[in-house]
Amino acid sequence: MTEPARPLVDGFRDRTGREPDGVWAAPGRVNLIGEHTDYNDGFVLPLAIDRVTTVAIGRRRDDVAACWSLTHGEATAYDVTTLAPGDVDGWAAYPLGVAWALRRGGIDVRGFDLVVSSTVPTGSGLSSSAALECATALGLAELFSARTGRRALALAGQRAEAEMAGVPVGVMDQMASMLGRAGHALFLDCRFLDTEQVPLDLAGAGLRLLVIDTKVEHSLAEGAYAERRRACERAAALLGVPALRDVDAGQVEQLPADVRARARHVVTENARVLATVDRLRAGEWSAVGALLGASHRSLRDDYEVSCAELDTAVDAAVGAGAVGARMTGGGFGGSAIALVAGERADAAARAVAAAFAQRGFRAPEVFAVEATDGARRVR
């Protein structure tokens, strides 16, 4: 049994009086580049990281789905056969939403007990929700004998988040958490769900990937995320195309001012993803760094999803010698990433902390991450 599973199994036993049928883990993700392109049928380049959400699950003899969190100290229970969107509030909407989505997909999920713990910081833009969904989906699929592929399980997680939790996310987070591979980034075409594992040999290049958690918690359900998505849908409709993936830079300039900048970000970000994949294949890390910087400026100026803390993190990291840096995730808080030479990593972290202190911001948490494998059974 892995160490993260031990307290979880103990917690499950304390609450249910029995052993779980299994323990599953799924990673959070960092998106190297490709922000707000997934729900526009575009391209993304995330990696699964070595911060995980772990669930212990045991089948019950009734139809009740009962969930506890060691992290939040909360519990909730519902009849899994009557669950519907709008029934569940808070974190439990994610695992219970997965049960609902799997049942809607024809899998006969019945009652279960679930206990969860996580090392993925919540509200940090590292997809703690997708990690919970994917760990739950893999566990429930195994326990209820579903012969369901990983892509289908990722889509069930996305549906849970969109319809049960009320956040209209794309599929990137769940696909990264399900399909991640150690030492690789996942090049994902969000229209066709085609994937390619792109080698990400940071150590071989003498680099480290730092996450800068600003400690500014974001809640994508609060409306700003949905507003950005509506703007993209309106822009596509005005241009008569299914999605902004089908638009070029010239078409963007024909759009009315209220959606033009939003569309420009998506179109240019798709191009940056494709360019980053090419530069990674060629080992041109300085060019990758420049693309990260361009992505951040676009997210800040055209999509307007950055904030003072994220901008400070990016500027301080680059000022300390980072090859490149940008905000990652949906924005409005959360985390930035910085690609830094290994010998400069500590100095970059200190520079970011000093810049936050100077601005009177809450102290950030800075830590290195590695590309890891996706969702898996650990016990």
Which residues are identified as catalytic?
A: 173
Rounded to a whole number of angstroms, the distance between the first and last alpha carbons of the chain is: 6
Report the distance separating Cα 143 and Cα 145, nearest Å: 6
* Residue pair 21/59 in contact by the 8 Å Cβ criterion: yes
DSSP H helical ranges for the chain: 5-16, 93-104, 128-143, 150-159, 172-179, 224-239, 249-252, 257-282, 285-301, 308-319, 345-359
Q: Write phi, then psi, for 263 (nearest 5 degrees).
A: -65, -40
Q: How many residues does the chain have?
A: 379
Residue 328: beta bridge partners? Answer: 335
Report the distance separating Cα 330 and Cα 350, nearest Å: 25
> Which letter does DSSP use for residue 46 in this model?
E
Report the distance separating Cα 190 and Cα 51, nearest Å: 24
